[in-house]
Structure formats: structure tokens, C-alpha cells
Structure 1
Amino acid sequence: MILRIGFWFGVLLAAVFVAHWGAERLANPLKKLRRQWGITAVAGGTLIGLASASPEIGTNTVSAIQGVSGIGLGNMLGANILSIPLMMTVAYVATRKQNLSDDTSKSEQSSSGRADTAHNNHEQHRHERLLQVNQSAVTVLALPYLGIITLVAILTIPKPWRGLQPIDGTIMFLAYLIYAGQALVRGRQEGESVEWSAKEIGLAVAGVGALAVGAYFTVRATENLASLFGISNVIAGLFITATMSTTPEVFATWAVTRSGQVTSGATGVLTDNAVTMTLAFVPLALVTVTITDFQLYWVNLVFVAVMPIIYSTFLYWSQDESGFARWQVLVFILVYLGYVGVMLFGVLNI
């Protein structure tokens, strides 16, 4: 029994990393498109989100095809609850590095004067225990993401049309196009010339294949773990798949933030979540998912909304320098622990 659990956890971990390896192969081409089209770092997150959320899209697609859509539903909700507290914590810890530049990598700085100013600003933020984030993330990313969550609630909670249905998938696909479109239009600037290599294109194709393989084994491993633990597919998706699927994103957030791209590192989670709640929603809706445990569903959807509400409130009302103080990052953690408590003792009645 223990050996089988260990084996499938190993398969799950390997599958998640294979899927995210594939996603990373897509990330660089999308970054180049952002530069070529003249899209700002904040708005460009909508493109990067396609790569970072592609493992979730793949997992939901496979779970729908395999007839275990509960895994995809649990993963979609659970990952969107855990990701913001986790990534904000990782980004905050990463910015405690003494010689980190201020939201602009050294390669992007045009003069030593700018480099000195960026260094001094970061030292001030580090002393003030502040994770500096561009305030425009509230209107460009966070509030539109909250609009997406509201739309999901309208489509899936009312009793006459409770659940995920094909028409809902069509609506959410259109919602993503609107979300991405408004961010890209509002964040345009002059583009720059970029070069494309055959190797880059080949790796992107290999990445798509890795995503498919990783998604398949993610679902297979979760299905077997749910059976071994004697829990439902939804619960397995909420706490097993969702937790594991955020692991590679932790390393990505750490690397991006440590490189000096603080705003990109701290806002990427919003675009990832927006893609998860729209494009990753589609394959589940196409096969029709019935919500059998309504309390479990609405409680999770409430916490999915609570996280960006806190994010927007803290960032919008930040004082002289926009960002998140250490105590605010701790609030994210406490809210997630509160969610776990509500699930264990209020919903699952353990």
C-alpha cells in the first residue's frame, strides 16, 4: 500500500514537471511576441499566462477525455486558491536578496545611473519590508480576473443551470478573449525587432508534446491516489493535483523575481489563474460536469474570489510605494490556512 502510494506520488511529481518543462518551452516564444508587438510587462502577462497555465489546460482536457472530470474541477479550483498566497510568499522572500534590482533587469537598464537608482530603491523597499508591485496590476489584471470568477459563479451556481455545460465553455472562451484583449490593448507600446531560430521553434513543438504526456500521467496518478486514499476525484484534485501543479510555478516565480522583474513575478499568478478559469474551464464544460456536492463547490469558489479581492485591496490602498508589506503577505497565508480549516471541519466534517 505505502509503496503504491509512493510510486504514484512519484509519477505525479514527474508528470507535473514534464508538463511544466513543456510550458517553459512555450514561454520564451511568447515573451518574444510580447516584445515584438510592443506589449508592457503587466499586460504581457496575458501571453505568459498561456504558457504557465497550459499544464492545467492539459490536465483538464485529459481528465474530461478519461471520464474523471472531478480531478480537473478540483485542480482548477484548488490551484487558484493556493497559488496567490504561495506565489506572493515566494516573491516576497525572493526580494529580500540584497543586490536585487528594482523590477528591471540589468540588461534592460540603459545607463549606470538608472542601475544605481534601481539598486537604491530596492534597498529602501527591502528595509521597509515591501514587495513592490506596479499598481496598474489592479485594473489591468486583478479586477478583470474577478469579473471572470463572477461570470463562472453566474453560469454554474444558480439551480436551473447548475454545473458545467457546453454553452458555459463557449462563454468562458469568449471571456478569455475579452480579458486578454483589454489587457493587450491597454498595454501597447512601440514594438522591437526580434529574431526567431529553428531550434526555438523545434523546442516549442517538443514542449507541446511534453505537455500532453505530462497531463496524461498527472490525471492517471491522481486517479490512482484517490482510489488508494479512498477519497473522491474532486478532493484529490483540490489537495493533491492542485498542490503538486503549483510546485514548478514556485521555481518560476522565484527565478523571475530574483532576476529583478518583481512586478512580472508577483502578477504572473493572476494571468495564470485567469487562463485556468477560462480556457481550462472549456474541456470540462464540453463533456458536462454535474456538481454533486454543491456546498463543496460554492465554498471553494468563494475562496477563489477572496484571494484576488485581498490582492486588489492591499495593492490599491498601498501608501507611498505600491506593493505588499510583510504583514499583508502573512494575511494571504492565514486566509489559506483558514480555507483548509473550513474544508476539513466545515465541509468534509473530519
Structure 2
Amino acid sequence: MLEVVLWTTAILIGLVLLVISGDKLSDKIVEVARKAGVSSLVISIVLISLATTLPELITSAVASYQGATGIALGNALGSIFANIALILGLATLVRPLKATQAAYKNSLVMLASFFLVILLSTDGVLSRLDGLVLLGSYVFYLTWLLRKHAREEGDGIGRGDATPLDYVFLLLLGLVLVLGAKLVVYGGENIAEAMGVSDFVIGATIVAIGTSLPEMTNAIYGAVRNRGSISIGNIIGANIMNALVVLGVASLIRPLQTGASVLTVVLVLAVMLPMTASLKKTRGLGRPLGIYFLAVYIIYLVLMFSEVEL
């Protein structure tokens, strides 16, 4: 019993460190980028999207490095699912979310990213070569995005006065982030073993929800302030990052066996496809769809902890 309390505490402390240090690190990255003279375009498209998924990225990378590939894979896929089914489901209960045509177009990129993951996983593994393909696809996407908005380049150029102390803070916050990830992986592996479930289940549920807390905060805040485009756009960007960058980095460190992920993949499509269709048809997400998302997520949790396999 004492050991379970210890492992649970490790996860909770790790998640707190991930969320707090991830939030502070994302702010510091943007601040240092501006001081260093990086354009507002690169900050908005590249750095902010990267910063909001730092908890998922670091957790999956550390898990993969330590050989806990189930947690690495489950965290990325579970975060994609939680972002839509849980977070957008809750956000729509606060207020129906309205978005722009751009949200629909970017949701197609999200779909394409996820289908690429499925395609590369058909042989039962995401290999290091697959990881390179995923990361290369993200670079291609960023290049296209930057060229599309190239006319904005040069806006918000900083004075180029970042100090060594700024970079020291970045390093220290990064180390705290890694420590948090290590605690989550340690607790997750041991609890999975004690409960008799796979580490993929823990990664896809407990860890995924924890590392998605920054996205949850942003999405619900956007709903409260009647800024549906912020809520939806942040989730779409985070899911593209999870599919291409988080899984890309994790599989590059160590190949990921994907056999346990079929149920998650099926249910992700069960919410991702209706989401994209709704964005095309109504340019938003209504409460009925949000209720459907939450119902699917509850079913998912029951099935996962029942170790149902497809």
C-alpha cells in the first residue's frame, strides 16, 4: 500500500512539475526569442506550438529513452484523444465554439498527420526511419506555413539583447521539465505493473490527461472568453505536434511497438472525423457534439482499464 502511495505521489509531483515548468518555459522561450531578434511570425507558428506541447514531448522522449515505450506511445496518442474528446468536450459545455475557415483547413492537416501515423504503424512498429519521416513531415508543414505567411516576416523583431542569464533560466526550466517527466514515468511504470495493466494504458490515460492540462486550460479559457478559434486552434496545433513531433522524437530514440494502440486509434478517428466535418459544415463545435465527445471518452476509459483489445 505504501508503495502505491509513493508511486502515485511521484506521478502527481511529476505532473505538477511538468505543467508549471512547461508553462514557465514556454513563456521564457517566447521572451528569449523576442530578445534574440526572432520574428513574431516564427514565434507564433513555431515556438508557441512547440512550447504548449513540451510536457508531452519531454515525457514521451524520456519514457522512450528509459525503455518505457508503452508510456511514450500511449502519452502521445492518448493526448491526441484527450485533446478532442475530453478537452473540447468540456469546452463546448461551457460555450459552443465558433471558428474560422482556417480552423477547418488546419484540421485537414491534423487528419493527414494522424493518417500518416496509422500508415507508418501498419507493420506493428514505429521505427527510427518512421520517426524521421514524421519529423520531416513536420518540417515540410512548417516550411509551407512560413512561406504562406511570409509577408508577415519581419514583424516584431527584437533588439537582439538576450543575455546569458536568459539561457541559464531556459536550461534550468528544461531540467525541471525532465525531472517531472522522469517522476511520471517512474510512477506510471510501477502502478501499471501493480494494477496488472500495460504501461500503454497508464500512458494513454493518466499521463496523457496530465500532460494535456496546459491545452485544457487554454481551451476552457478560450470558451469562457468566447474565443472559440483559440480553443480549437490550440488543440489542432497540439495534435499535429503530438502526431509528427512527439511520436517522431520518441520513435527516433527507440522504436515503438504499436500493437496495443488499435483501440485508441479507432476512437481517435471516431472523434476526429466528426470534428473536422463539423468545422467544415458549421465552422464550429456545438454542445451535442461535445456531449458525444465526452461519452466516447468515458467509454474509452472503461475499455482501456478493462484491457479490451481489438
Q: TM-score, normalised by structure 1?
A: 0.76
User: Residue 262 of structure 2 corresponds to which residue in structure 1?
Assistant: 298
Say whether 1:147 aligns with 2:112.
yes
User: Residue 243 of structure 1 corresponds to which residue in structure 2?
Assistant: 209
- 1:308 pairs, out of 246, 268, 272, with 272
Contact 2:93-2:287 within 8 A present in 1 as well? no
- 1:324 pairs, out of 282, 285, 298, with 285
The verdict on how the C-alpha distance between 1:339 and 1:229 changes in structure 2, with shifts beyond 3 A counting, is closer
Q: What are the Cα deviations for residues 20-39 of structure 1, in whole angstroms up to 9, with x where unaligned?
A: 22222332355566996354
Q: TM-score, normalised by structure 2?
A: 0.84
Q: C-alpha distance in 1, partners of 2:81/2:208?
A: 9
Say whether 1:263 aligns with 2:229.
yes
**CA apart distance, 1:148:** 1.2
Say whether 1:185 aligns with 2:187.
no
User: What is the root-mean-square deviation in Å for CA atoms of aligned residues?
Assistant: 2.9
Q: C-alpha distance in 2, partners of 1:306/1:217?
A: 32
Matched ranges for 1:64-143 at <5 A: 64-93=64-93, 96=95, 130-139=96-105, 141-143=106-108
Identity of matched residues, %: 23
Q: What are the Cα deviations for residues 237-260 of structure 1, in whole angstroms up to 9, with x where unaligned?
A: 122212222234323433455456
Q: Given residue 333 of structure 1, which amino acid in structure 2 is its aligned partner?
A: L
Q: What are the Cα deviations for residues 310-344 of structure 1, in whole angstroms up to 9, with x where unaligned?
A: 221111100xxx32222222122123234345546
Say whether 1:14 aligns with 2:16.
no
Q: Given residue 237 of structure 2, which amino acid in structure 1 is its aligned partner?
A: T
User: Residue 62 of structure 1 corresponds to which residue in structure 2?
Assistant: 62
Highest Rg: 1 or 2? 1
> Structure 1 stretch 275-284 or stretch 337-346: which is displaced more?
337-346
User: Residue 121 of structure 2 corresponds to which residue in structure 1?
Assistant: 156
The verdict on how the C-alpha distance between 1:256 and 1:4 changes in structure 2, with shifts beyond 3 A counting, is farther
- How many residue pairs get aligned? The number is 302
Q: C-alpha distance in 1, partners of 2:205/2:71?
A: 10
Contact 1:12-1:221 within 8 A present in 2 as well? yes
The verdict on how the C-alpha distance between 1:271 and 1:46 changes in structure 2, with shifts beyond 3 A counting, is farther
Q: C-alpha distance in 2, partners of 1:285/1:180?
A: 20
Say whether 1:27 aligns with 2:29.
no
**CA apart distance, 1:79:** 1.6
User: SS where residue 97 of structure 2 aligns?
Assistant: strand
User: Residue 185 of structure 2 corresponds to which residue in structure 1?
Assistant: 219
Q: What are the Cα deviations for residues 296-322 of structure 1, in whole angstroms up to 9, with x where unaligned?
A: 42222222333322221111100xxx3
Contact 1:25-1:204 within 8 A present in 2 as well? no
User: SS where residue 205 of structure 1 aligns?
Assistant: helix
Which segments of 5 or more consecutive residues in structure 1 lack a partner in the other structure?
97-129
